[in-house]
């Protein structure tokens, strides 16, 4: 590496990734807080919105459940459940309506066998392996390399490959989330759940949520780039 004033310049990449992630999370919290205070004109709760969307699309094998925490909302394709955090489940706010509709967007994807969603689910085991084993393999590889062990560079390369799997999963997630939000807004409009002005506000919440996925993916790519810069050029000694 080529340090500036004794510092590794690749730490700038770490700071960039951190700034992107924190910025996106902060923006989401701000938008969520803003539109959590704005009530929808229909007065439907998150649960009622989810159930209306599901039934209107002929989906009767998916149920809606409350879960603890904040921003813990998700669709579980294995259990066929739309899980809404308690603040979304019982709330009639614009934010609650948008989030509930988004999770139903995933249920619609599942019902239609949406290919990117299927691929993402199939890729989960590989992503988990990559995220858990990549750094230990790289660290052990560096230690072995320092002792001139020929296995060191091979372990480093395997670690980088493993980390790449986790990055690929982040990238695969982007079109799935964007598509779910698009489907959500279509449902809110076609089922007359929100009028145009409120739909625009719900869109703002969903865009903010999407930006967290974009920032997460960008941060992962930046981290992978840094690892390749630091270790990717190592060869057998």
pTM for the whole structure: 0.87
Note the pLDDT tens digit of each residue in 92-128. Answer: 999 999 999 999 999 999 999 999 999 999 999 999 9
Question: Each residue of 29-45: b (16+ CB within 10 Å) or e?
Answer: eebbebbbeeebebebb
Q: Phi and psi for 67 in degrees, rounded to 5?
A: -135, 155
- Beta carbons of 202 and 41 less than 8 angstroms apart: no
* 103 part of the active site: yes
Note the pLDDT tens digit of each residue in 6-64. Answer: 567 788 898 999 999 999 999 999 999 999 999 999 999 999 999 999 999 999 999 99
- Beta carbons of 116 and 175 less than 8 angstroms apart: yes
Sign of CA dihedral 156, 158, 161, 162: negative
Note the pLDDT tens digit of each residue in 198-220. Answer: 999 999 999 999 999 999 999 99
25 to 35, 59, 77, 192: CA distances (angstroms): 16, 32, 26, 30
Catalytic residue among 48, 51, 103, 177: 103
Predicted confidence at residue 161, as pLDDT, reads: 94
Q: Is the pLDDT of residue 237 over 90?
A: no
């Amino acid at each position: 590496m080529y340090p500036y004033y004794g510092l590794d310049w690749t730490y700038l990449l770490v700071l960039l990734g951190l700034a992107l992630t924190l910025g996106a999370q902060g923006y989401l919290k701000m938008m969520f807080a803003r539109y959590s205070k704005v009530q929808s004109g229909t007065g439907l709760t998150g649960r009622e919105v989810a159930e209306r969307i599901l039934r209107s699309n002929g989906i009767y094998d998916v149920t809606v459940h409350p879960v603890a925490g904040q921003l813990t909302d998700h669709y579980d394709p294995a259990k066929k459940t739309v899980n809404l955090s308690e603040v979304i489940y019982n709330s009639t706010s614009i934010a609650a309506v948008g989030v509930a509709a988004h999770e139903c967007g995933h249920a619609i994807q599942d019902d239609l066998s949406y290919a990117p969603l299927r691929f993402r689910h199939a890729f989960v085991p590989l992503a988990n392996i990559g995220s858990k084993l990549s750094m230990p393999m790289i660290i052990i590889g560096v230690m072995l390399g320092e002792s001139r062990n020929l296995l060191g560079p091979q372990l480093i390369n395997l670690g980088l490959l493993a980390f790449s799997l986790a990055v690929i999963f982040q990238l695969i997630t982007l079109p799935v989330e964007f598509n779910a939000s698009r489907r959500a807004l279509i449902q809110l409009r076609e089922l007359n759940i929100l009028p145009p002005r409120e739909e625009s506000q719900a869109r703002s919440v969903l865009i903010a949520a999407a930006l967290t996925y974009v920032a997460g993916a960008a941060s992962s790519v930046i981290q992978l780039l840094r690892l390749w810069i630091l270790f990717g050029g190592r060869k057998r000694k």
